């Protein structure tokens, strides 16, 4: 009998809490309204569907390892140099590549208390040290982030807009953040929900990347473009950083369908405009209706709302989650993000949105 101990993970790995995605199933016989993962209710562009169908005829060949067609489409739409772009298996992979490329054991990584859970995972996976800073009114604070910077700071992750709060920092605040960081610290702007934002003082960060040596912006096709199942994202960065990331990127990391569909979706601006218009209509309606029920809703510029429940027996977020799930209304519990008494709801189609409000009215006893 072999009594030797098995292999041990490197420092940090066992400190990671396994990521738990949003629920995706309703009770048997109940219609599913999946509003837990911030997916677009309008689905992908018809052009993307057609590109996938065409690609399905050639599954025996490897994809282009450089995702050239996808990078060209992104470059055309956004007016950037394709040589400053890198594509990945969702923006999650690109965030992980950044950690792999730049973090050593003992380095510090700054992110805010309600930031994307992947930031902590990436930090621990690279034996680095998470430095979590407080937010103000559920919004990132540039002053708090800068106060946390030390000589060991290597990465600063900023989700803008943030998930699950839906809050954002104006571009002038982001510029102030970058200006206050040491040159060796990389500022990562996670702009997964940028396409939804309609505020004059917001920018995703492309101009800041173009004028800086230490800024990376990541984006995704999983939200407004409706390609979550294909897992495709992209990053825009100085060429010196792109050359670093290319060295740790696996070969053929973006599949052929993702490349083809992503390029088609990127160019279909009319479909994206419809998704923006739908979101603008219903996020306002949801915020108003949920507030009228006596619930607090964090003002959101994304495609979701964070709903805060009263801390009274019978009316908590956990009990609301059970009540809604029984009716096929699947929202996202966000205790892991520091909100034990809140649920995040993605903006859905009209019937889903109305069904949630009606169900919560019953749950709260205001019907």
What pLDDT score does 24 carry? 67
Confidence of residue 121 (pLDDT cuts 50, 70, 90): very high
193, 192, 187: which is closest to 158 by C-alpha? 187
Share of the chain above pLDDT 90, in %: 89
For 57-96, write each residue's pLDDT tens digit: 999 999 999 999 999 999 999 999 999 999 999 999 999 9
Distance, in Å, from the CA atom of 145 to the CA atom of 156, rounded to the nearest integer, reads: 8
**12 Cβ neighbours under 8 A, 6+ residues apart:** 105, 123, 124, 125, 126, 127, 128
**151 Cβ neighbours under 8 A, 6+ residues apart:** 182
User: Domains, the chain, ranges and CATH?
Assistant: 22-43+270-364 (3.90.1150.10), 46-267 (3.40.640.10)
Q: Give the CA distances from residue 218 to residues 31, 106, 240, 328, in Å, rounded to whole numbers and listed in that order.
A: 35, 25, 16, 33
What pLDDT score does 1 carry? 57
**231 Cβ neighbours under 8 A, 6+ residues apart:** 89, 90, 93, 222, 258
Lowest-confidence range among 156-165, 216-225, 286-295, 358-367? 358-367
pTM: 0.93
What pLDDT score does 2 carry? 62
> Which residue matches tokens 């966000």?
334
Distance, in Å, from the CA atom of 89 to the CA atom of 65, rounded to the nearest integer, reads: 12
Instruction: With beta carbons less than 8 A apart as the criterion, state whether 141 and 133 touch.
Output: yes
**What value does the mean pLDDT take over residues 25-31?**
77
Centre a 10 Å sphere on the Cβ of residue 126 and count the other Cβ atoms it contains. 25
Lowest-confidence range among 9-23, 61-75, 151-165, 217-231? 9-23
């Amino acid at each position: 009998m072999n009594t030797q101990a098995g292999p041990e993970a490197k420092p940090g790995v066992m400190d990671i809490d396994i990521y738990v995605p949003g629920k995706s199933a309703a009770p048997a016989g109940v219609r599913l309204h999946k509003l837990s993962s911030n997916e677009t209710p309008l689905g992908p562009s018809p052009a993307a569907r057609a590109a996938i169908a065409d690609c399905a005829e050639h599954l025996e060949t490897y994809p282009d390892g450089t995702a050239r067609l996808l990078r060209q489409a992104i470059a055309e739409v956004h007016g950037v140099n394709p040589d400053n772009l890198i594509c990945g298996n969702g923006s999650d992979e690109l965030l992980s590549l950044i950690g792999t490329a730049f973090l050593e054991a003992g380095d510090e990584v700054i992110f805010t208390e309600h930031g994307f859970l992947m930031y902590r995972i990436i930090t621990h996976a690279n034996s680095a040290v998470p430095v979590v800073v407080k937010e103000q009114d559920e919004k990132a604070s540039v002053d708090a982030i800068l106060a946390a910077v030390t000589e060991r700071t290597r990465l600063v992750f900023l989700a803008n807009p943030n998930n699950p709060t839906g809050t954002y920092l104006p571009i002038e605040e982001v510029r102030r953040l970058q200006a206050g960081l040491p040159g060796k610290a990389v500022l990562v702007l996670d702009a997964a929900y940028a396409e939804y934002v309609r505020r004059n003082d917001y920018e995703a960060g492309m101009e800041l990347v173009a004028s800086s040596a230490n800024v990376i912006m990541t984006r995704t096709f999983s939200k407004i473009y409706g390609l979550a199942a294909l897992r495709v994202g992209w990053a825009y960065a100085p060429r010196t950083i792109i050359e670093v990331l290319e060295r740790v990127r696996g070969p053929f990391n973006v599949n052929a369908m993702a490349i083809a569909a992503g390029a088609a979706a990127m160019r279909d601006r009319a479909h994206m405009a419809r998704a923006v218009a739908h979101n603008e209509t219903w996020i306002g309606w949801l915020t108003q209706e949920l507030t009228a029920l006596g619930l607090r809703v964090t003002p959101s510029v994304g495609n979701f709302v964070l709903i805060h429940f009263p801390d009274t027996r019978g009316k908590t977020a956990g009990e609301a989650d059970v009540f809604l799930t029984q009716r096929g209304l699947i929202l996202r519990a966000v205790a892991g993000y520091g909100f034990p008494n809140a649920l995040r709801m993605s903006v859905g189609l009209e019937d889903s949105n109305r069904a949630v409000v009606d169900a919560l009215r019953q749950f709260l006893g205001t019907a």
